[in-house]
Structures are given as structure tokens and as C-alpha cells.
Amino acid sequence: MMKVNLVCESFDKGSGQGIYKVAYYLRKSLRNKVRLTSKKPDILHYLNPLRQFGNEKDIVTIHDLIPFKAKDGSLLGRIKRRQILKKALDSSEHFIVPSWITYKDLLEYGIEGKQISMIHWGVDMNFFRPLHRTNTKRKVIGYVGALTKRKSVETLLSFADRFREFDFIIAGKGQEEKKLLRLMDANHLDNVKFLGFVPENNLPKFYNSIDVFIILSKYEGFSMQLLEAMSCEVPFILSTNIGIAGELPIYLPEQFEDFFTKLSSGKIKPLTNQRKYLIYNGFTWSRCSEEHLRLYKELSRGRTNVFEDD
């Protein structure tokens, strides 16, 4: 059995970090297909570019190029993340990306296409599933994710101000939280509720409590929440054209105000058969792990184990 070392800072799916959630599910899905070990592995796979690199045989997962494309976090933190990401991009043998957007970003950086494999993440459809929904007179718009400038949550508050016939619930923490709370109070947005961090075990209940799931991010490498919302059959899902969004049968409105106007008048049809779409198009962790295993075998074929003793 092939020996694989999966390296990540954390495998905690409940951390609120999408990278660690991916690491958890990928390790779980691969457990019966490879021997997971740090001792003389055939494959060394970094699941995020946050560790020391330097071996030309490394495989690294690049979720996105946020350190180069966004101003999340402090200046010192961004500089450090850019340095680490640059070292990963300049020293690794092969790269795994979750979307064609990140694939294109790596090409623009200068990585050759033959060094990049695009493997979509999956979603746990047994965990994220439809639950009993309570019909309410007012439609509920929901968002879950970090509260940072890149996520454009402030724009969501402007929609709440204009469309007061809807309720808005916002789940997450981040640098913009205090500013957003002040805006909510200043504009007397009684139709907005901030939930703070929602634990992983409560996310299915969250998705099943909303009529519309929305993402307004300026840049994402994937956006796991879109798959989770689809797996819970949220009636309306809309997003900017980021990450995986352009490959999914969801709403990608050019003008979000027009969408909400039509939603208010009942002129927008809800999405259907979302779970069937996810299964048919392979957005499962089983398929994801199988594609990883196929890549591991391809890359290890004819290669000398660099960890073997001389």
C-alpha cells in the first residue's frame, strides 16, 4: 500500500477554517486507500502552504492566492504569508488546486500547466442535508463566513437597508465585525442579526433556517459554503463569480438589487435537485480522494523514494 504523509497545521473541521475542514475530510477519505505515515512516505503532500518547503518532490495544495490578491489581516501578516506562499510556489514539484480560477491564477504566476492538477473539493452530504423547514412570511437571507473587507459584508447591510421586507442573519467573526455592528445600529437595521461564530455542528440547522444564501466576496479560491448550502437544498443561492461559483447551477446576478426586487415580487424560481447535481458531478469526498490517489500513483511512478536511506 502506498505510504502518504499529509501535512497540515490542523485537521480540525470545526475550526471555522475551510483549509482545515478540507484536510479533515481528505484524510478521513484516504485512510482506507493509503497508509498515512510520516516515516519514509512515497508521497509528501502539504495541504496548505504554511510549512517549510525545499524538497523538489513535494506536492502542495494551493487553495487560492489570497496573500497576493487581497489585503486580509495585518501588513506584517500579509508579508509573511506571501513569503511562505512564494516559497511553496517556487520549490514544489506539483500543485493541487480546487477550482479553475486558482488554476488560472497559478498559470499567470508562471507555473506550467503540467505541474497543476485541478481537483474539486467535496461536501459531506450525510451531514449537510435538508431538515424540516418552518415556513415564515418574511424571507430570510443568510451569510456565513469571515467578516473581512474581501467578503463585502458591508454591501449585504446596504441590501438590508433597502429591502427591509427581508430578514438578514450573518454568521461569522472577523476584523470588520465592530464596524459592521456600528453600521447596523446607525442605520437602525432591525431586520439584521449577527450570530457570531456558528459551530460546525450547528451549520446544517443554519442553512435550513434560511431561504437565500448569499456570498458577495471579491475573491475566493473555492467557497465551500456554496456546496454546503446546495447539499441542504437552500431554495435560493446567489454569489459573485468567484471560486467554484461559475461551475454551479446557482444564481450569479450582475445586479444583486435586481435579484432582490424580483425575489420580493415572487418572480424568481427556487433551485431544485441540488443534491442530485452534487452527486452526478462528483462533488463528494469519495471522488475527491480517488482523484488524489490517482495523482499520487502517477507522480510516484518511476520516482525514487527520496526518503529512503542511501
CA angle, residues 14, 74, 217, in degrees to nearest 5: 60
Q: What is the pLDDT of residue 83?
A: 86
pLDDT value at 243 more than 50 = yes
CB 5 within 8 A of CB 44: yes
Q: What is the pLDDT of residue 48?
A: 86
Other CB atoms within 10 A of residue 249 CB: 12
| Measured distance CA(173)–CA(250) in Å, rounded | 26
Cα torsion 43, 29, 13, 250 to 10°: value is 110
pLDDT (tens digit, 9 = 90+) per residue, 81-127? 888 888 888 888 899 999 999 999 999 999 999 999 999 999 999 99
Q: What's the predicted TM-score (pTM) here?
A: 0.92
Reported confidence tier of residue 305, pLDDT bands at 50, 70, 90: very low
Mean pLDDT of the 130-149 span: 91
pLDDT value at 308 more than 60 = no
- The sign of the torsion formed by the CA atoms of 96, 101, 106, 112 equals positive
Q: Are strands 43-46 and 35-36 parallel, antiparallel or unpaired?
A: unpaired
CA-based nearest residue to 69, from 156, 146, 149, 174: 149
| Measured distance CA(156)–CA(68) in Å, rounded | 25
Q: What is the pLDDT of residue 198?
A: 96
3-state DSSP: the chain helix, strand, coil percent, rounded to 5?
40, 15, 45
pLDDT value at 131 more than 80 = yes
CB 71 within 8 A of CB 105: no
Q: What is the pLDDT of residue 307?
A: 41
Mean pLDDT of the 209-238 span: 96
| Measured distance CA(261)–CA(276) in Å, rounded | 29
Mean pLDDT of the 116-140 span: 93
pLDDT value at 304 more than 80 = no
Q: How far is CA 63 from CA 109, 149, 167, 210, in A?
A: 14, 19, 32, 28
Reported confidence tier of residue 248, pLDDT bands at 50, 70, 90: very high
Give the mean pLDDT of the chain.
91
The proportion of the chain whose per-residue pLDDT surpasses 70, expressed as a percent, equals 94
Mean pLDDT of the 149-163 span: 96
pLDDT value at 161 more than 90 = yes
Reported confidence tier of residue 306, pLDDT bands at 50, 70, 90: very low
Q: What is the pLDDT of residue 301?
A: 81
Domains and CATH numbers, the chain: 3-122+284-300 (3.40.50.2000), 140-280 (3.40.50.2000)
| Measured distance CA(32)–CA(121) in Å, rounded | 18
| Measured distance CA(98)–CA(118) in Å, rounded | 6
Distance of CA 142 to the CA centre of its chain: 16
Helix axes 153-162, 177-186, angle to 10 degrees: 10
Q: What is the pLDDT of residue 93?
A: 87
Helix (H, G, I), strand (E, B), or coil: what is residue 50?
Answer: coil
Q: Where are the alpha helices (DSSP H) in the chain?
A: 18-30, 66-69, 75-91, 100-109, 153-162, 177-186, 203-207, 224-231, 256-264, 274-280, 285-300
Reported confidence tier of residue 247, pLDDT bands at 50, 70, 90: very high
pLDDT (tens digit, 9 = 90+) per residue, 14-66? 998 899 999 999 999 999 999 999 998 999 999 987 655 555 568 999 999 98
Q: Where is pLDDT greater, at 14 or 302?
A: 14
